[in-house]
Structure 1
Amino acid sequence: MLEEAGLKSLTESVTANGKIYPFKEVKLSLELPGEVTRIAISEGDSVSKGDLLLEIEADNYISSVSQSNAAYKQALANLASAKARKSQADAQFKIIESDYNRRKELFQKQIISTVELEASESQYFAAFGEKEAAFQAVEASNYQAQSANAGLQQTRDNLSRTKLFAPMSGIISKLNVEQGEKVVGTAQMAGTELVTISDFAEMELRIEVGENEVLQVTEGDTALIEVDAYLGEEILGIVSQVAYSSNALLDQQVTKFEVEIKLVKASYEKLISDERKLPFRPGMSATAEIITNKKENILCGPIQSVTLRDPNEEDDFDEKIQVVFVFKDGKVLQKEVKTGIQDDTNIEILSGVNEGDQLVSAPFKAISKELENEMEVVAISEEELYGE
């Protein structure tokens, strides 16, 4: 069977399946463990930033705040007492220092004895030591007060963490907890995922592309999307992110990379109505065809006409080249070709054949193994080949 090489437009694409999710969503957990005592929202509710979502049992944390507050007040009282002692020590030292200086003058005038001077000197150094001790006591009490204050702030922070607030406006797309359930906090391990808030204003499709195709995909590529729930409706998308690391697990044979495609809202506004303000739900299945390259008026041939042959006829894969068989005057001529982009049926031919050449396109077994250069053949139609 023959087909003519001719000028066509080719669109190269990558097709993959995936799931639709909000472009922006946050998964929330509490930092502290505890029993859920109140849930203020339901799945599907709209929330604003700062709204209370849920809270856990806070009695222990309230008790901790009371204890820390009492400890802080005690530390402040100790600090005040230390300061009062320091004031007394400072005043006493000034009196003794003045008396000591006076007695030194009297001693120099030989009015008092050495014994009296030494007694005064002993009182002076004792008062000086008391003054320094009082100063150190104030410093220690001050540090204790600061530590107690920090402890109080920490217990207050822990008490505030018993309540979960919305960090953004959106819709509660998932609620994974019931009242009375005990949850694990994130302070020491992976916490319980409690609530997911999603912003449905923008949606994206997340697909996985094989390692042989991911290099063809770049950010900004256009994608044509069909959602399983809206068969026949074509939605436009733009590739927003291509993963640099694969999602392959140890037991997977195929390595795949996640590609995120942002849906263009104008292309699916027709799906929005008063009864259906949110046409998509997280996890809906969809198929994307990413347009990776497009060329107009290029020389093409049937993709099945191109095969690999070893010019030395030794069937060495490393030595194989791309060839086609051109039918002319009852014979086929083997032509080496260089190819470019391709779609499902045609492939770009960069060199080796001319427009209008008759290329052998079937049967595949003949093209890949049986045909030889300058072999005489008889051209037959598709109906004759397949007996239709």
Structure 2
Amino acid sequence: MKKKIIISVVIVAIIGIIGGIQIASRNKKQVTTVKTSKVAIGDVKMYLSTTATIKSKNEKNYSVSGATKISNVKVSVGDKVKKGDTLLTYDIADLNNQVQSAQINYDNAISQKKDAVDSNDDAKDTIANTADTPANTAIISTAKASVLSDEKVKQLNNAVKSAEATLDSAKIKLSQNSDITSDIGGVVTEVNVISGQTGAQGTAIAVQDISSLKGVVKVGKYDAAKVALGQTSTILSNGKSYKAKVSKIYPTATVNTTATGGDTTLTVELDVLEAAPQLKVNFDSDVDILLKQVLAVVKVPAEAILTNKDGSTYLFVVSDGKAVQKIVKLGVQSDTDMEILSGIKVGESVILNPGSAITNGVLVKDAKNVGGK
């Protein structure tokens, strides 16, 4: 009886050992399903994606005289104007009176000088042509008294110059305050004055050429180092894209302070290179600035790349049903693609988003070959 029990125990032990071996064998052959992508030749483009405020490249703000009454505001917001069109006129009655008064004073000064010079010439002629005899003493004495002194001539000339300066000033004031004309062609975007008003603070009338636009971008110090003049850009609005390029980079940064803190940014301007009716001045639009690109290079999806603690980069390729780790050197990087300078070859399959289960040598199977998408 004891012999039978021992035999039964041995048999159970052998069955357990065999089962353990079979389980271990199955575990060794366990395969992880992965998604892959082929290493290919293509383009890699690095973009700075941000927002821009749309502005007119050509705009003009006009202020009004603080002392002259506005006679007539001739434009309204939305009106189209050409260069030289009158935007508003002033009540110039007082200015005309000032010009007329100055003109009279100037004419009087000229007349007084002429009369004095004529009298001076007559006196000199009398002195020269009158015999110096006792009978002519009184005549010669009176003539000599009429001869102008150098100081008197200087006074007459100064009076003429002063009157002329006053007249010129009145004419300039009249010309500058008779009306305001547009220096550019465009659309009236602000009117902050009315007829009959005298003076105003700030912008009275604004005109903008809304057919010639630019995007104004604020970039931080890290992105500022990557932006350069002439870089190709795209401005996006309502599902449409418009070609642009970096046209201006400000020489200094600006400190922006708010109630919750602040930051320092550099202003960059982008010229819009085509008609863009969807873009509206002062609205924000999405912008992609092409910082760098390489064409026809070896590339892989960015989601295949992993980074070691020492900063080196690697990925996994599928070889003979196994995941094989390979160290790679990267070139230009974008949000979606990475240029590979060395480490893998075109046509190899790289594993996308390898998780912790993927290690060097682990068995893997491509999801494409097992019904995956």
The TM-score, its normalising length taken from structure 1, stands at 0.67
> In the superposition, relative to structure 1, how do residues 331 and 226 fare at CA in structure 2: closer, same or farther (>3 Å)?
closer
Distance 1:376 1:17, change over 3 A: closer
Matched, 1:232 2:229: no
The number of equivalent residue pairs is 321
Residue pair 1:309, 1:323 contacting (<8 A) in 2 also:
no
Residues 20 and 285 in structure 1, CA contact (< 8 A), matched pair in contact too:
yes
Equivalent residues of 2:318, 2:364 under 8 A apart: no
In structure 2, the residue matched to 1:196 is: 206
- Decide whether aligned partners of structure 1 residues 94 and 216 sit closer, same or farther in structure 2, where only a CA change above 3 A counts: same
CA distance in 1, matches of 2:45, 2:345: 21
How much does 1:10 deviate? 1.0
Q: 1:219 to 1:376 in 2, by over 3 A?
A: closer
**Whole-angstrom distance in 1 between the partners of 2:302 and 2:291:** 18
SS of the residue aligned with 2:107? helix
> Counterpart of 1:246?
253
Task: Structure 1 unaligned segments of length 5 or more: list them.
Answer: 104-115, 185-190, 269-277, 311-320, 384-388
In structure 1, C-alpha distance between the alignment counterparts of 2:170 and 2:114, rounded to whole Å? 24
Distance 1:74 1:308 in 2: 96
Amino acid at match of 2:45: T
In structure 1, what is the equivalent of residue 88 of structure 2? 54
Closer, same or farther: CA 381–342 of 1 in aligned 2, 3 Å: farther
| Pairing 1:14–2:48 present | yes
Secondary structure (helix, strand or coil) at the match of 1:283 reads: coil
| 1:324 counterpart (314, 325, 329) | 314
Match of 1:172 in 2: 188
Distance 1:172 1:382, change over 3 A: farther
The whole-number CA distance in structure 2 between the counterparts of 1:332 and 1:66 is: 98
Counterpart pick for 2:221 among 211, 224, 239? 211
**Which residue of 44, 48, 59 corresponds with 2:78?**
44
- How far off is 1:382 after superposition? 11
Distance in 2, matches of 1:26 and 1:148, equals 36
CA gap of 1:279–1:376, structure 2 versus 1, over 3 A, is: closer
Contact 1:39/1:53 (8 A) holds in 2: yes
Distance change (3 Å), C-alpha of 1:130 and 1:331: same
Aligned to 2:160: 145
Contact 1:242 1:260 (C-alpha < 8 Å) held by counterparts: no
Q: CA RMSD in A?
A: 3.9
Q: In structure 2, the residue corresponding to 1:91 is in which secondary structure? A: helix
Q: Which residue identity is paired with 1:86?
A: N
Q: Tell me how far apart the structure 2 counterparts of residues 92 and 18 of structure 1 sit (CA, whole Å).
A: 86
Cα 1:309/1:216, change in 2 over 3 Å: same
1:298-340 Cα offsets, whole Å, 9 max, x none, are 2334446253634xxxxxxxxxx443355799787684x5533
Provide the C-alpha distance between the structure 2 equivalents of 1:382 and 1:56, rounded to a whole number of angstroms: 82
Distance in 2 separating the partners of 1:181 and 1:379: 86
Asked if the contact 2:242/2:272 (under 8 Å) is kept, the reply is no
1:222, 1:237 within 8 Å by CA — same for their partners in 2? yes
Shift of 1:361: 4.4
Corresponding residue SS for 2:166: helix
Q: Considering only CA atoms, is the larger Rg found in Structure 1 or Structure 2?
A: 2
Give the drift of 1:156.
1.7
Separation in 2 of the partners of 1:66 and 1:80? 21
**Partners in 1 of 2:83 and 2:49 — Cα distance?**
38
Per the alignment, residue 30 of structure 1 pairs with: 64
Name the CA shift for 1:248/1:301 in 2 (closer, same or farther; >3 Å).
farther
Return the alpha-carbon distance in structure 1 between the equivalents of residues 365 and 196 of structure 2.
75
Does structure 2 conserve the Cα–Cα contact (< 8 Å) formed by 1:223 and 1:261?
no
- Bigger CA drift: 347-356 or 164-173? 347-356
Alpha-carbon spacing, 1:91–1:167, altered in 2? closer, same or farther (3 Å): same
Q: CA deviation at 1:164?
A: 0.8
The one of 94, 98, 115 equivalent to 1:81 is 115
Distance in 2, Cα, partners of 1:10 & 1:53: 52
Give 1:362 shift: 4.4
Residues 86 and 339 (structure 1), Cα distance of their counterparts in 2 relative to 1, 3 Å cut? farther
User: Equivalent of 1:157, from 141, 164, 172?
Assistant: 172
Counterpart for residue 307 of structure 1: 307
In 1: Cα distance, 2:306 partner to 2:198 partner: 64
> Is the 8 Å Cα contact of residues 22 and 198 (structure 1) preserved in structure 2?
yes
